[in-house]
Chain A
Amino acid sequence: MTGWLIKGASILGRERADVLVESGRITGMGADLAAGDATVVDADGQILLPGLVDLHTHLREPGREDAETVASGSRAAALGGFTAVCAMANTDPVADTAGVVEQVWSLGRDAGLVDVQPIGAVTVGLAGSQLAELGAMAASAAKVRIFSDDGHCVSDPRLMRRALEYVKAFDGVIAQHAEEPSLTAGAQMHEGAVSARLGLAGWPAVAEEAIIARDALLAGHVGSRLHVCHVSTAGSVEILRWAKSKGWRVTAEVCPHHLLLTDELAGSYDPVYKVNPPLRTADDVAALRQGLAEGIIDVVATDHAPHTLEDKECEWSAARPGMLGLQTALPIVIHTMVEPGALDWDGVAERMSRTPARIAGLTEHGRDPAVGGPANLTLVDPAARWTVVPSELAGPSRNTPYSGMTLPGVVTATFLHGRPTVLGGKLTESAS
Protein backbone atom coordinates (compact mmCIF):
# COMPACT_ATOMS: atom_id res chain seq x y z
CA MET A 1 0.00 0.00 0.00
CA THR A 2 1.36 3.33 -1.02
CA GLY A 3 1.46 6.15 1.46
CA TRP A 4 1.02 9.89 1.44
CA LEU A 5 3.58 12.58 2.10
CA ILE A 6 2.01 15.82 3.33
CA LYS A 7 4.69 18.30 2.46
CA GLY A 8 5.45 21.57 4.18
CA ALA A 9 2.39 22.03 6.34
CA SER A 10 2.56 24.03 9.52
CA ILE A 11 1.74 21.62 12.35
CA LEU A 12 -1.03 23.22 14.42
CA GLY A 13 0.15 26.56 13.14
CA ARG A 14 3.65 26.08 14.55
CA GLU A 15 6.75 24.47 12.99
CA ARG A 16 6.67 23.32 9.40
CA ALA A 17 7.23 19.65 8.78
CA ASP A 18 6.64 16.90 6.26
CA VAL A 19 4.32 14.19 7.49
CA LEU A 20 4.48 10.68 6.07
CA VAL A 21 1.34 8.61 6.33
CA GLU A 22 1.42 4.86 5.79
CA SER A 23 -1.00 2.09 6.69
CA GLY A 24 -3.22 4.34 8.74
CA ARG A 25 -0.45 5.68 10.94
CA ILE A 26 2.01 8.52 10.84
CA THR A 27 5.36 6.92 10.12
CA GLY A 28 7.56 9.94 9.78
CA MET A 29 7.68 13.61 10.61
CA GLY A 30 10.45 16.08 9.91
CA ALA A 31 12.06 18.37 7.43
CA ASP A 32 12.48 17.28 3.81
CA LEU A 33 11.31 13.69 4.12
CA ALA A 34 11.85 11.61 1.01
CA ALA A 35 8.62 10.70 -0.72
CA GLY A 36 9.67 7.29 -1.89
CA ASP A 37 6.53 5.52 -3.14
CA ALA A 38 4.28 7.93 -1.34
CA THR A 39 2.06 10.42 -3.16
CA VAL A 40 3.03 13.98 -2.32
CA VAL A 41 0.37 16.39 -1.08
CA ASP A 42 1.68 19.92 -1.37
CA ALA A 43 0.71 21.66 1.87
CA ASP A 44 2.81 24.77 1.60
CA GLY A 45 1.23 27.58 3.63
CA GLN A 46 -1.39 25.25 5.06
CA ILE A 47 -2.20 24.18 8.59
CA LEU A 48 -2.28 20.54 9.67
CA LEU A 49 -4.71 19.75 12.47
CA PRO A 50 -5.79 16.56 14.14
CA GLY A 51 -8.98 15.47 12.36
CA LEU A 52 -11.96 17.43 13.59
CA VAL A 53 -14.51 15.72 15.85
CA ASP A 54 -18.13 16.84 16.04
CA LEU A 55 -19.98 16.05 19.24
CA HIS A 56 -23.34 17.06 17.83
CA THR A 57 -24.51 15.98 14.37
CA HIS A 58 -27.98 15.09 13.14
CA LEU A 59 -27.66 12.55 10.37
CA ARG A 60 -31.45 11.96 10.15
CA GLU A 61 -31.10 8.27 9.28
CA PRO A 62 -33.17 6.27 10.00
CA GLY A 63 -36.40 8.16 9.37
CA ARG A 64 -35.72 11.34 7.41
CA GLU A 65 -33.49 10.16 4.60
CA ASP A 66 -35.03 12.90 2.44
CA ALA A 67 -33.17 15.46 4.57
CA GLU A 68 -29.89 13.59 5.16
CA THR A 69 -28.49 10.10 5.28
CA VAL A 70 -25.53 8.72 7.14
CA ALA A 71 -23.75 8.60 3.78
CA SER A 72 -24.61 12.16 2.70
CA GLY A 73 -23.83 13.54 6.15
CA SER A 74 -20.52 11.69 6.06
CA ARG A 75 -19.64 13.45 2.81
CA ALA A 76 -20.44 16.83 4.34
CA ALA A 77 -18.40 15.93 7.41
CA ALA A 78 -15.34 14.90 5.40
CA LEU A 79 -15.53 18.08 3.31
CA GLY A 80 -15.76 20.06 6.53
CA GLY A 81 -12.56 18.45 7.81
CA PHE A 82 -14.17 16.03 10.27
CA THR A 83 -12.88 12.53 10.88
CA ALA A 84 -15.46 11.64 13.51
CA VAL A 85 -19.01 12.75 14.17
CA CYS A 86 -21.37 11.87 17.00
CA ALA A 87 -24.80 11.14 15.59
CA MET A 88 -27.69 12.42 17.67
CA ALA A 89 -30.37 10.02 18.81
CA ASN A 90 -33.50 11.83 17.63
CA THR A 91 -34.01 9.67 14.58
CA ASP A 92 -37.13 7.71 13.70
CA PRO A 93 -37.05 5.20 15.27
CA VAL A 94 -35.22 6.89 18.11
CA ALA A 95 -31.74 5.60 18.84
CA ASP A 96 -32.81 4.29 22.23
CA THR A 97 -31.87 0.64 21.79
CA ALA A 98 -28.72 -1.28 20.99
CA GLY A 99 -30.29 -2.26 17.66
CA VAL A 100 -30.71 1.27 16.36
CA VAL A 101 -27.31 2.53 17.51
CA GLU A 102 -25.65 -0.47 15.91
CA GLN A 103 -27.51 0.22 12.67
CA VAL A 104 -26.30 3.82 12.58
CA TRP A 105 -22.80 2.75 13.50
CA SER A 106 -22.67 0.18 10.72
CA LEU A 107 -24.14 2.63 8.16
CA GLY A 108 -21.29 4.95 9.09
CA ARG A 109 -18.76 2.19 8.65
CA ASP A 110 -20.24 1.36 5.23
CA ALA A 111 -19.99 4.97 4.10
CA GLY A 112 -16.40 4.98 5.29
CA LEU A 113 -15.81 8.72 5.13
CA VAL A 114 -15.88 9.54 8.79
CA ASP A 115 -16.15 7.56 12.00
CA VAL A 116 -19.79 7.77 12.97
CA GLN A 117 -20.17 7.41 16.72
CA PRO A 118 -23.84 7.04 17.70
CA ILE A 119 -25.24 8.88 20.67
CA GLY A 120 -27.92 7.00 22.59
CA ALA A 121 -31.17 8.45 23.86
CA VAL A 122 -31.42 9.01 27.61
CA THR A 123 -35.10 8.14 27.79
CA VAL A 124 -37.29 5.79 25.82
CA GLY A 125 -38.57 7.56 22.71
CA LEU A 126 -37.06 10.84 24.00
CA ALA A 127 -40.26 11.04 26.02
CA GLY A 128 -38.54 12.02 29.23
CA SER A 129 -40.25 9.52 31.43
CA GLN A 130 -38.32 6.25 31.47
CA LEU A 131 -34.60 5.56 31.09
CA ALA A 132 -33.63 3.84 27.86
CA GLU A 133 -31.40 0.77 28.07
CA LEU A 134 -28.23 2.80 28.44
CA GLY A 135 -26.08 -0.13 29.47
CA ALA A 136 -27.10 -2.20 26.47
CA MET A 137 -26.19 0.63 24.13
CA ALA A 138 -22.85 1.07 25.91
CA ALA A 139 -22.14 -2.63 25.55
CA SER A 140 -23.18 -2.79 21.90
CA ALA A 141 -20.84 -2.76 18.94
CA ALA A 142 -21.42 1.01 18.79
CA LYS A 143 -19.85 1.38 22.27
CA VAL A 144 -22.08 4.35 23.11
CA ARG A 145 -20.60 6.74 25.67
CA ILE A 146 -22.68 9.89 25.14
CA PHE A 147 -26.38 9.87 25.89
CA SER A 148 -28.70 12.70 24.96
CA ASP A 149 -32.36 13.42 24.39
CA ASP A 150 -31.25 16.38 22.25
CA GLY A 151 -34.19 18.20 20.76
CA HIS A 152 -35.80 17.62 24.12
CA CYS A 153 -34.58 18.45 27.57
CA VAL A 154 -34.44 15.80 30.27
CA SER A 155 -36.49 18.18 32.34
CA ASP A 156 -37.53 15.92 35.20
CA PRO A 157 -34.83 16.54 37.82
CA ARG A 158 -35.19 13.13 39.40
CA LEU A 159 -34.80 11.37 36.07
CA MET A 160 -31.82 13.57 35.18
CA ARG A 161 -30.17 12.68 38.47
CA ARG A 162 -30.69 8.98 37.87
CA ALA A 163 -29.30 9.19 34.35
CA LEU A 164 -26.22 11.05 35.53
CA GLU A 165 -25.61 8.44 38.19
CA TYR A 166 -26.38 5.41 36.08
CA VAL A 167 -23.93 6.11 33.26
CA LYS A 168 -21.02 6.28 35.71
CA ALA A 169 -20.94 2.49 35.50
CA PHE A 170 -19.54 2.68 31.96
CA ASP A 171 -17.92 6.13 32.03
CA GLY A 172 -20.82 7.63 30.14
CA VAL A 173 -21.81 11.24 29.95
CA ILE A 174 -25.22 12.88 29.69
CA ALA A 175 -25.34 15.60 27.04
CA GLN A 176 -28.18 17.83 28.05
CA HIS A 177 -30.30 19.97 25.74
CA ALA A 178 -30.88 22.67 28.33
CA GLU A 179 -34.38 24.02 27.87
CA GLU A 180 -36.97 24.24 30.63
CA PRO A 181 -39.98 23.23 28.53
CA SER A 182 -42.65 25.04 30.50
CA LEU A 183 -40.85 28.32 29.85
CA THR A 184 -40.59 27.72 26.10
CA ALA A 185 -44.03 26.43 25.14
CA GLY A 186 -44.64 27.72 21.60
CA ALA A 187 -41.35 29.63 21.63
CA GLN A 188 -40.08 30.78 18.23
CA MET A 189 -37.03 32.92 18.85
CA HIS A 190 -34.94 34.61 21.54
CA GLU A 191 -37.15 36.59 23.91
CA GLY A 192 -36.13 40.23 23.80
CA ALA A 193 -36.56 43.44 21.87
CA VAL A 194 -36.65 41.72 18.49
CA SER A 195 -39.24 39.11 19.45
CA ALA A 196 -41.37 41.88 20.93
CA ARG A 197 -41.26 43.72 17.62
CA LEU A 198 -41.81 40.70 15.41
CA GLY A 199 -44.63 39.25 17.47
CA LEU A 200 -42.93 35.88 17.76
CA ALA A 201 -43.23 34.01 21.03
CA GLY A 202 -40.06 34.34 23.06
CA TRP A 203 -37.55 31.68 24.17
CA PRO A 204 -36.10 33.28 27.29
CA ALA A 205 -32.43 32.87 28.18
CA VAL A 206 -33.46 31.80 31.66
CA ALA A 207 -35.03 28.63 30.27
CA GLU A 208 -31.53 27.48 29.30
CA GLU A 209 -29.67 28.90 32.28
CA ALA A 210 -32.01 27.45 34.89
CA ILE A 211 -31.47 23.92 33.55
CA ILE A 212 -27.69 24.34 33.30
CA ALA A 213 -27.56 25.54 36.90
CA ARG A 214 -29.72 22.68 38.10
CA ASP A 215 -27.81 20.05 36.15
CA ALA A 216 -24.45 21.39 37.29
CA LEU A 217 -25.65 21.10 40.88
CA LEU A 218 -26.90 17.58 40.23
CA ALA A 219 -23.65 16.54 38.52
CA GLY A 220 -21.68 17.98 41.41
CA HIS A 221 -23.88 16.22 43.92
CA VAL A 222 -23.57 12.77 42.40
CA GLY A 223 -20.04 13.21 41.00
CA SER A 224 -21.02 12.51 37.41
CA ARG A 225 -20.03 13.88 34.03
CA LEU A 226 -22.35 16.42 32.48
CA HIS A 227 -21.99 17.83 29.02
CA VAL A 228 -24.09 20.86 28.07
CA CYS A 229 -25.14 21.04 24.44
CA HIS A 230 -25.24 24.22 22.36
CA VAL A 231 -24.76 26.87 25.04
CA SER A 232 -26.27 30.09 23.70
CA THR A 233 -26.41 32.79 26.38
CA ALA A 234 -24.03 35.01 28.30
CA GLY A 235 -25.71 33.86 31.51
CA SER A 236 -24.96 30.24 30.68
CA VAL A 237 -21.27 31.09 30.35
CA GLU A 238 -21.33 32.61 33.85
CA ILE A 239 -23.04 29.55 35.34
CA LEU A 240 -20.51 27.27 33.64
CA ARG A 241 -17.69 29.39 34.98
CA TRP A 242 -19.10 28.96 38.47
CA ALA A 243 -19.68 25.20 38.03
CA LYS A 244 -16.12 24.69 36.81
CA SER A 245 -14.76 26.71 39.71
CA LYS A 246 -16.34 24.10 41.98
CA GLY A 247 -14.31 21.40 40.27
CA TRP A 248 -17.38 19.61 38.96
CA ARG A 249 -17.08 17.48 35.83
CA VAL A 250 -19.01 19.76 33.54
CA THR A 251 -18.17 20.40 29.89
CA ALA A 252 -19.99 22.51 27.36
CA GLU A 253 -20.21 23.12 23.64
CA VAL A 254 -21.10 26.13 21.51
CA CYS A 255 -22.33 26.07 17.92
CA PRO A 256 -20.68 28.11 15.17
CA HIS A 257 -23.94 29.94 14.40
CA HIS A 258 -24.17 31.19 17.98
CA LEU A 259 -20.68 32.64 17.57
CA LEU A 260 -21.71 34.75 14.60
CA LEU A 261 -25.42 35.27 14.03
CA THR A 262 -27.94 37.24 16.10
CA ASP A 263 -31.69 37.36 16.62
CA GLU A 264 -31.97 40.41 14.35
CA LEU A 265 -31.88 37.97 11.41
CA ALA A 266 -35.36 36.76 12.34
CA GLY A 267 -36.62 40.09 11.02
CA SER A 268 -36.85 38.57 7.56
CA TYR A 269 -39.10 35.81 8.93
CA ASP A 270 -36.99 33.44 6.83
CA PRO A 271 -36.91 30.20 8.82
CA VAL A 272 -33.40 29.46 7.64
CA TYR A 273 -32.53 31.49 10.76
CA LYS A 274 -34.77 29.44 13.02
CA VAL A 275 -32.77 27.19 15.32
CA ASN A 276 -33.04 25.76 18.81
CA PRO A 277 -31.71 27.21 21.02
CA PRO A 278 -32.40 30.38 19.08
CA LEU A 279 -30.00 32.99 17.80
CA ARG A 280 -29.40 35.43 20.65
CA THR A 281 -28.15 38.99 20.96
CA ALA A 282 -24.80 40.52 20.04
CA ASP A 283 -23.92 40.61 23.76
CA ASP A 284 -24.47 36.87 23.99
CA VAL A 285 -22.31 36.32 20.90
CA ALA A 286 -19.50 38.30 22.50
CA ALA A 287 -19.79 36.37 25.78
CA LEU A 288 -19.78 33.02 23.98
CA ARG A 289 -16.64 33.93 22.05
CA GLN A 290 -15.00 35.02 25.28
CA GLY A 291 -16.10 31.83 27.04
CA LEU A 292 -14.76 29.72 24.21
CA ALA A 293 -11.45 31.59 24.20
CA GLU A 294 -11.06 31.08 27.95
CA GLY A 295 -12.05 27.43 27.86
CA ILE A 296 -15.19 27.90 29.95
CA ILE A 297 -16.80 26.48 26.85
CA ASP A 298 -14.75 23.42 25.98
CA VAL A 299 -15.92 22.49 22.51
CA VAL A 300 -17.29 23.79 19.23
CA ALA A 301 -20.00 21.43 17.99
CA THR A 302 -22.01 21.95 14.84
CA ASP A 303 -25.58 20.90 15.72
CA HIS A 304 -25.68 20.15 11.98
CA ALA A 305 -29.44 19.84 11.41
CA PRO A 306 -30.49 19.19 7.82
CA HIS A 307 -34.09 19.93 6.86
CA THR A 308 -35.96 19.55 3.60
CA LEU A 309 -37.21 22.56 1.65
CA GLU A 310 -40.79 21.84 2.76
CA ASP A 311 -39.72 22.15 6.38
CA LYS A 312 -38.10 25.53 5.76
CA GLU A 313 -39.99 27.18 2.88
CA CYS A 314 -43.01 27.94 5.00
CA GLU A 315 -44.21 30.17 7.80
CA TRP A 316 -41.61 30.78 10.52
CA SER A 317 -43.72 29.13 13.20
CA ALA A 318 -44.38 26.09 11.01
CA ALA A 319 -40.71 25.59 10.15
CA ARG A 320 -38.49 23.08 11.89
CA PRO A 321 -35.55 24.52 13.81
CA GLY A 322 -31.99 23.80 12.73
CA MET A 323 -29.16 24.71 10.39
CA LEU A 324 -26.57 22.93 8.32
CA GLY A 325 -23.17 23.21 9.96
CA LEU A 326 -20.59 20.59 9.04
CA GLN A 327 -19.06 22.29 6.01
CA THR A 328 -19.04 25.77 7.53
CA ALA A 329 -17.98 25.06 11.13
CA LEU A 330 -14.24 25.49 10.75
CA PRO A 331 -14.55 28.59 8.53
CA ILE A 332 -16.89 30.22 11.07
CA VAL A 333 -14.45 29.43 13.88
CA ILE A 334 -11.58 30.88 11.84
CA HIS A 335 -13.68 33.96 11.10
CA THR A 336 -14.97 34.54 14.64
CA MET A 337 -12.06 33.27 16.76
CA VAL A 338 -8.80 32.78 14.86
CA GLU A 339 -8.75 35.90 12.70
CA PRO A 340 -9.63 38.22 15.61
CA GLY A 341 -6.84 36.55 17.65
CA ALA A 342 -9.09 34.98 20.28
CA LEU A 343 -7.92 31.44 19.51
CA ASP A 344 -4.73 30.10 17.91
CA TRP A 345 -4.53 26.91 15.85
CA ASP A 346 -3.67 24.87 18.91
CA GLY A 347 -6.81 26.29 20.46
CA VAL A 348 -8.79 25.23 17.39
CA ALA A 349 -7.37 21.71 17.73
CA GLU A 350 -8.27 21.72 21.41
CA ARG A 351 -11.89 22.89 20.91
CA MET A 352 -12.67 21.01 17.73
CA SER A 353 -10.63 17.81 18.03
CA ARG A 354 -8.84 16.87 21.24
CA THR A 355 -11.53 17.79 23.76
CA PRO A 356 -14.55 16.49 21.83
CA ALA A 357 -12.65 13.22 21.18
CA ARG A 358 -11.90 12.90 24.87
CA ILE A 359 -15.54 13.57 25.86
CA ALA A 360 -16.78 11.02 23.33
CA GLY A 361 -14.12 8.46 24.29
CA LEU A 362 -12.72 8.28 20.77
CA THR A 363 -9.14 7.25 21.45
CA GLU A 364 -8.08 7.19 17.79
CA HIS A 365 -9.17 10.78 17.30
CA GLY A 366 -8.12 14.10 18.74
CA ARG A 367 -4.43 13.26 18.76
CA ASP A 368 -1.88 15.75 17.53
CA PRO A 369 0.20 14.56 14.58
CA ALA A 370 3.04 12.41 15.96
CA VAL A 371 5.06 9.51 14.69
CA GLY A 372 3.25 6.31 15.54
CA GLY A 373 -0.04 8.08 16.04
CA PRO A 374 -3.21 7.59 14.06
CA ALA A 375 -3.43 9.42 10.75
CA ASN A 376 -6.72 11.20 11.29
CA LEU A 377 -5.77 14.59 9.97
CA THR A 378 -7.24 17.77 8.54
CA LEU A 379 -5.35 20.10 6.25
CA VAL A 380 -6.69 23.62 5.95
CA ASP A 381 -5.67 26.55 3.80
CA PRO A 382 -6.34 29.50 6.09
CA ALA A 383 -5.76 32.14 3.43
CA ALA A 384 -8.25 30.80 0.91
CA ARG A 385 -11.78 32.16 0.96
CA TRP A 386 -14.93 30.68 -0.47
CA THR A 387 -18.52 31.75 -0.94
CA VAL A 388 -21.27 29.57 0.46
CA VAL A 389 -23.67 28.39 -2.24
CA PRO A 390 -26.40 26.19 -0.75
CA SER A 391 -26.81 24.05 -3.85
CA GLU A 392 -23.10 23.24 -3.84
CA LEU A 393 -23.13 21.76 -0.35
CA ALA A 394 -23.06 18.00 0.11
CA GLY A 395 -26.32 16.35 1.04
CA PRO A 396 -29.88 16.95 -0.06
CA SER A 397 -30.70 19.82 2.32
CA ARG A 398 -30.04 23.50 1.68
CA ASN A 399 -30.74 25.15 5.02
CA THR A 400 -27.51 27.01 5.56
CA PRO A 401 -27.79 30.48 7.12
CA TYR A 402 -24.53 31.50 5.47
CA SER A 403 -25.76 31.54 1.87
CA GLY A 404 -23.83 34.11 -0.11
CA MET A 405 -21.31 34.75 2.67
CA THR A 406 -17.62 34.63 1.86
CA LEU A 407 -15.78 32.72 4.57
CA PRO A 408 -12.10 32.12 5.29
CA GLY A 409 -10.50 28.68 5.38
CA VAL A 410 -10.75 25.87 2.88
CA VAL A 411 -10.32 22.27 3.97
CA THR A 412 -7.99 20.99 1.27
CA ALA A 413 -7.52 17.45 2.58
CA THR A 414 -8.97 15.14 5.20
CA PHE A 415 -7.32 11.84 6.13
CA LEU A 416 -9.32 9.13 7.85
CA HIS A 417 -7.20 6.27 9.20
CA GLY A 418 -4.47 7.21 6.75
CA ARG A 419 -6.72 7.33 3.71
CA PRO A 420 -7.68 10.64 2.10
CA THR A 421 -11.42 11.27 2.07
CA VAL A 422 -10.86 14.76 0.70
CA LEU A 423 -8.02 15.93 -1.55
CA GLY A 424 -7.73 19.29 -3.29
CA GLY A 425 -10.87 20.39 -1.49
CA LYS A 426 -12.94 17.66 -3.12
CA LEU A 427 -14.09 14.23 -2.07
CA THR A 428 -11.67 11.62 -3.34
CA GLU A 429 -12.88 9.26 -5.99
CA SER A 430 -13.14 6.33 -3.67
CA ALA A 431 -15.08 8.57 -1.31
CA SER A 432 -17.62 9.98 -3.74
Chain B
Amino acid sequence: MAEPAHDQAGDTRPARQILSDSDISRVIDRIAHQILEKTRGAAETVLLGIPTRGVPLASRLAERIAAFEGATIPHGALDVTLYRDDLRIRGARALGPTDVPADGVDGRRVILVDDVLYSGRTVRAALNALYDLGRPSQVQLAVLVDRGHRQLPIRADYVGKNIPTAASENVSVHLKEHDGTDEVLLSGGAA
Protein backbone atom coordinates (compact mmCIF):
# COMPACT_ATOMS: atom_id res chain seq x y z
CA MET B 1 0.00 0.00 0.00
CA ALA B 2 2.88 2.32 0.76
CA GLU B 3 3.77 2.57 -2.87
CA PRO B 4 1.15 2.08 -5.49
CA ALA B 5 2.21 -0.34 -8.17
CA HIS B 6 3.09 0.39 -11.75
CA ASP B 7 6.03 1.91 -13.44
CA GLN B 8 6.46 5.63 -13.63
CA ALA B 9 7.36 7.63 -16.65
CA GLY B 10 11.02 8.47 -16.85
CA ASP B 11 12.23 5.14 -15.53
CA THR B 12 15.75 4.64 -16.72
CA ARG B 13 16.11 0.94 -16.01
CA PRO B 14 13.83 -1.93 -16.88
CA ALA B 15 11.92 -3.49 -14.01
CA ARG B 16 13.58 -6.44 -12.26
CA GLN B 17 11.63 -9.25 -10.71
CA ILE B 18 12.44 -9.50 -6.99
CA LEU B 19 9.89 -12.16 -6.07
CA SER B 20 8.33 -14.66 -8.46
CA ASP B 21 4.99 -16.39 -8.27
CA SER B 22 6.44 -19.34 -6.34
CA ASP B 23 8.58 -17.06 -4.12
CA ILE B 24 5.42 -15.29 -3.02
CA SER B 25 3.64 -18.52 -2.08
CA ARG B 26 6.67 -19.67 -0.11
CA VAL B 27 6.90 -16.35 1.68
CA ILE B 28 3.20 -16.42 2.60
CA ASP B 29 3.57 -19.98 3.89
CA ARG B 30 6.51 -18.92 5.99
CA ILE B 31 4.71 -15.90 7.47
CA ALA B 32 1.72 -18.13 8.25
CA HIS B 33 4.00 -20.51 10.15
CA GLN B 34 5.68 -17.63 11.97
CA ILE B 35 2.31 -16.25 13.01
CA LEU B 36 1.25 -19.65 14.34
CA GLU B 37 4.49 -19.98 16.22
CA LYS B 38 4.58 -16.47 17.63
CA THR B 39 0.91 -16.39 18.60
CA ARG B 40 0.68 -19.97 19.87
CA GLY B 41 -1.81 -21.21 17.33
CA ALA B 42 -3.28 -17.84 16.37
CA ALA B 43 -5.85 -17.89 19.12
CA GLU B 44 -7.85 -14.69 19.61
CA THR B 45 -6.17 -13.26 16.51
CA VAL B 46 -7.69 -11.15 13.72
CA LEU B 47 -6.01 -10.40 10.39
CA LEU B 48 -6.86 -6.99 8.91
CA GLY B 49 -5.57 -6.24 5.44
CA ILE B 50 -4.95 -2.66 4.39
CA PRO B 51 -6.50 -1.99 0.97
CA THR B 52 -5.75 -2.50 -1.77
CA ARG B 53 -3.23 -5.39 -1.78
CA GLY B 54 -3.10 -6.01 1.94
CA VAL B 55 -6.62 -7.41 1.75
CA PRO B 56 -5.90 -10.45 -0.48
CA LEU B 57 -2.67 -11.03 1.46
CA ALA B 58 -4.63 -11.23 4.73
CA SER B 59 -7.08 -13.57 3.10
CA ARG B 60 -4.29 -15.83 1.80
CA LEU B 61 -2.61 -15.88 5.20
CA ALA B 62 -5.89 -16.88 6.86
CA GLU B 63 -6.34 -19.61 4.28
CA ARG B 64 -2.80 -20.98 4.84
CA ILE B 65 -3.18 -20.88 8.63
CA ALA B 66 -6.43 -22.82 8.29
CA ALA B 67 -4.71 -25.36 6.03
CA PHE B 68 -1.75 -25.88 8.41
CA GLU B 69 -3.61 -25.89 11.69
CA GLY B 70 -7.27 -26.44 10.86
CA ALA B 71 -8.09 -23.26 12.76
CA THR B 72 -10.32 -20.56 11.24
CA ILE B 73 -8.86 -17.16 11.84
CA PRO B 74 -11.12 -14.13 11.29
CA HIS B 75 -9.85 -11.75 8.65
CA GLY B 76 -11.09 -8.56 7.04
CA ALA B 77 -10.16 -5.20 5.61
CA LEU B 78 -9.32 -1.87 7.24
CA ASP B 79 -9.29 1.18 4.96
CA VAL B 80 -7.05 3.98 6.19
CA THR B 81 -7.78 6.63 3.56
CA LEU B 82 -9.79 8.80 5.95
CA TYR B 83 -6.87 8.72 8.41
CA ARG B 84 -4.10 9.62 6.01
CA ASP B 85 -1.94 12.62 6.77
CA ASP B 86 -1.54 13.65 3.13
CA LEU B 87 -5.17 14.36 2.20
CA ARG B 88 -4.55 18.08 2.13
CA ILE B 89 -1.59 17.69 -0.17
CA ARG B 90 -2.81 14.96 -2.45
CA GLY B 91 -6.55 15.55 -2.35
CA ALA B 92 -9.43 13.20 -2.00
CA ARG B 93 -9.17 9.64 -3.24
CA ALA B 94 -11.74 6.90 -3.51
CA LEU B 95 -12.23 4.95 -0.31
CA GLY B 96 -11.23 1.31 -0.01
CA PRO B 97 -13.37 -1.29 1.67
CA THR B 98 -13.56 -1.64 5.43
CA ASP B 99 -14.83 -4.99 6.62
CA VAL B 100 -14.20 -5.86 10.26
CA PRO B 101 -15.07 -9.41 11.36
CA ALA B 102 -18.28 -9.60 13.36
CA ASP B 103 -16.65 -10.12 16.76
CA GLY B 104 -14.66 -6.93 16.39
CA VAL B 105 -11.17 -6.20 17.69
CA ASP B 106 -11.71 -5.61 21.40
CA GLY B 107 -9.32 -7.71 23.51
CA ARG B 108 -7.93 -9.46 20.45
CA ARG B 109 -4.55 -9.59 18.83
CA VAL B 110 -4.83 -7.71 15.53
CA ILE B 111 -2.29 -8.37 12.80
CA LEU B 112 -2.27 -5.61 10.20
CA VAL B 113 -1.29 -6.88 6.76
CA ASP B 114 0.13 -4.75 3.95
CA ASP B 115 2.10 -5.35 0.80
CA VAL B 116 5.00 -2.91 1.19
CA LEU B 117 6.39 -1.22 4.30
CA TYR B 118 8.09 2.05 3.35
CA SER B 119 7.74 5.35 5.25
CA GLY B 120 5.49 3.83 7.91
CA ARG B 121 2.83 6.51 7.40
CA THR B 122 0.21 4.06 6.21
CA VAL B 123 0.75 1.93 9.30
CA ARG B 124 0.45 5.04 11.46
CA ALA B 125 -2.92 5.77 9.82
CA ALA B 126 -3.94 2.14 10.28
CA LEU B 127 -3.14 2.24 14.00
CA ASN B 128 -5.30 5.32 14.43
CA ALA B 129 -8.12 3.76 12.44
CA LEU B 130 -7.82 0.59 14.49
CA TYR B 131 -8.02 2.38 17.83
CA ASP B 132 -11.19 4.19 16.70
CA LEU B 133 -12.69 0.75 16.11
CA GLY B 134 -11.96 -0.55 19.56
CA ARG B 135 -9.20 -1.68 21.90
CA PRO B 136 -7.11 -4.61 20.70
CA SER B 137 -4.96 -6.42 23.27
CA GLN B 138 -1.98 -6.36 20.92
CA VAL B 139 -1.21 -5.12 17.39
CA GLN B 140 1.32 -6.73 15.05
CA LEU B 141 2.34 -5.99 11.51
CA ALA B 142 2.93 -8.37 8.60
CA VAL B 143 4.30 -7.15 5.25
CA LEU B 144 5.30 -8.88 2.06
CA VAL B 145 8.19 -6.47 1.38
CA ASP B 146 10.11 -4.12 3.65
CA ARG B 147 11.96 -1.65 1.46
CA GLY B 148 13.38 0.57 4.24
CA HIS B 149 13.34 4.40 4.41
CA ARG B 150 11.19 4.60 7.53
CA GLN B 151 9.99 8.06 8.57
CA LEU B 152 8.31 6.85 11.78
CA PRO B 153 9.35 4.50 14.60
CA ILE B 154 7.53 1.53 13.15
CA ARG B 155 8.79 -2.00 12.42
CA ALA B 156 7.17 -5.15 11.08
CA ASP B 157 6.74 -8.33 13.13
CA TYR B 158 6.65 -10.50 10.03
CA VAL B 159 8.54 -9.65 6.84
CA GLY B 160 8.38 -11.65 3.63
CA LYS B 161 11.50 -10.12 2.14
CA ASN B 162 13.73 -7.19 2.99
CA ILE B 163 14.64 -5.32 -0.18
CA PRO B 164 17.19 -2.52 0.16
CA THR B 165 16.10 0.23 -2.26
CA ALA B 166 16.95 3.74 -3.29
CA ALA B 167 14.23 6.32 -2.70
CA SER B 168 14.11 6.88 -6.45
CA GLU B 169 13.23 3.24 -7.01
CA ASN B 170 9.74 1.87 -7.18
CA VAL B 171 8.51 -1.41 -5.70
CA SER B 172 5.45 -2.86 -7.44
CA VAL B 173 3.55 -5.73 -5.89
CA HIS B 174 1.28 -7.61 -8.27
CA LEU B 175 -1.24 -10.09 -6.91
CA LYS B 176 -3.49 -12.42 -8.86
CA GLU B 177 -6.63 -11.03 -7.20
CA HIS B 178 -5.96 -7.54 -8.59
CA ASP B 179 -3.33 -7.81 -11.28
CA GLY B 180 -3.69 -11.31 -12.71
CA THR B 181 -0.17 -12.39 -11.72
CA ASP B 182 1.87 -12.81 -8.56
CA GLU B 183 5.20 -11.00 -8.64
CA VAL B 184 7.18 -8.18 -7.05
CA LEU B 185 9.09 -5.83 -9.34
CA LEU B 186 11.75 -3.22 -8.67
CA SER B 187 12.04 -0.43 -11.18
CA GLY B 188 13.45 3.06 -11.62
CA GLY B 189 16.49 4.39 -9.83
CA ALA B 190 19.43 6.33 -11.13
CA ALA B 191 20.96 5.09 -14.39
Question: Touch between A and B in complex, CB under 8 Å?
Answer: no
